[in-house]
Chains A and B, each alone.
Chain A
Amino acid sequence: MMAAVARICDARGVPCEVSLETPMACGYGVCLGCPVPRREGKEGALPGFLYACTEGPCVDAATIDWRRSER
């Protein structure tokens, strides 16, 4: 549903933030258990994913690679 909302907003140029929920072991950026596919790389961050605990839970929907998220 989030992906659908993000898609609709993207198509109409409406700003969209989503609130992520994933399993977490620590909640402060060390276990790396809460990855969410990231659309583009970010300087100084781990490649491939953002982490819901430290970068989220609310993020700009455009930062997420929704195609890889819908499995």
Chain B
Amino acid sequence: MTGVNTTADLSVEVGSLTLKNPVLTASGTFGYGLEYDAFFDVAELGGICTKGLSLSPRAGNPPERICETAAGMLNAIGLANVGVEAFCKDKLPILRRRGVTVVANIFAITVDDFVTIARRVDADEGVAAIELNVSCPNVDKGGLEFGCDPVAAARVTAAVKPLALRMVWELARAVRIPVIGIGGIARAEDAIEFLLAGATAIQVGTANFADPMASMKVLEGLAAYCAARGMSARDLIGKMR
């Protein structure tokens, strides 16, 4: 196993997919992975979730697109992306050569387009999993009402992590499928809390913007935590009763 120098077994199983560790980077906060080349070897992560991919390239929304809030940021990028064809042609071969675990995030308006994009990314080697974007609030007809109300949204982002943690805790008890935790994860302690609450893996999101090393720091911290206690990452999952 390449990756963080640790004695701990950090591997987790998300369905039929085995990740070398539970640390993923969230779609829209990690580009197509290669942008982080200058900072660290992204192949060390459990995986990267790509920027949302559509059938055709998309320009996204006109400026302004972002706004900082008390606990992070609000954004309305508008799903700007190079399109699934350019991703498969220009980005995926490089990611595959580097041994990066790639989760392709895809979005579409119609079910047919979802299927077409999924088939396209599945046609090439190198995509470990597909993430369906069914809730982006930044486009017409997408997402929940609060995503369209800046005041309500600002209130929500004032306390992302406690809410996300509770949702994971409740969800993990209600379903038999793996839950991936996301929302306010910036440090290893955050990731550990999500695993304890029942998440099988986690995603680091906005924290990547403030510190490009954030996901690697989360991974290193998790590795040190597990190694110090002689535990595996799997031992932590759902440990909180």
Contact = CB atoms under 8 A, between A and B. Distances in A.
B87 to A, nearest CB: 12
Contacts of B75: 25, 31, 33
A8 interface: no
Nearest to B75: A33
A30 B90 contact: no
B62 interface: yes
Q: State which size class the interface on A falls in.
A: 20 to 34
Interface string B9-52: 00000000000000000001111000110100000000000010
Contact of B60 (A28, A29, A44, A48): A48
B64 A23 contact: yes
Interface stretch (B77-85, B110-118, B218-226): B77-85
Interface string A27-52: 01111111111000000101111000
A33 B62 CA distance: 10
A52 B68 CA distance: 18
A67 interface: no
Contacts of A48: 59-60, 80
Given A31-B209, A33-B77, A49-B80, A23 B57 contact: no
A35 B60 contact: yes
A29 B206 CA distance: 14
B70 interface: no
B78 to A, nearest CB: 9
Given A29-B35, A48-B59, 5 more contacts: A26-B209, A30-B36, A31-B75, A32-B77, A48-B60
**What 7 pairs across the A-B complex have the smallest Cβ distances?**
A48-B59, A33-B66, A30-B31, A25-B209, A26-B209, A47-B59, A32-B77
Interface of A: 22-26, 28-37, 44, 46-49, 68, 71
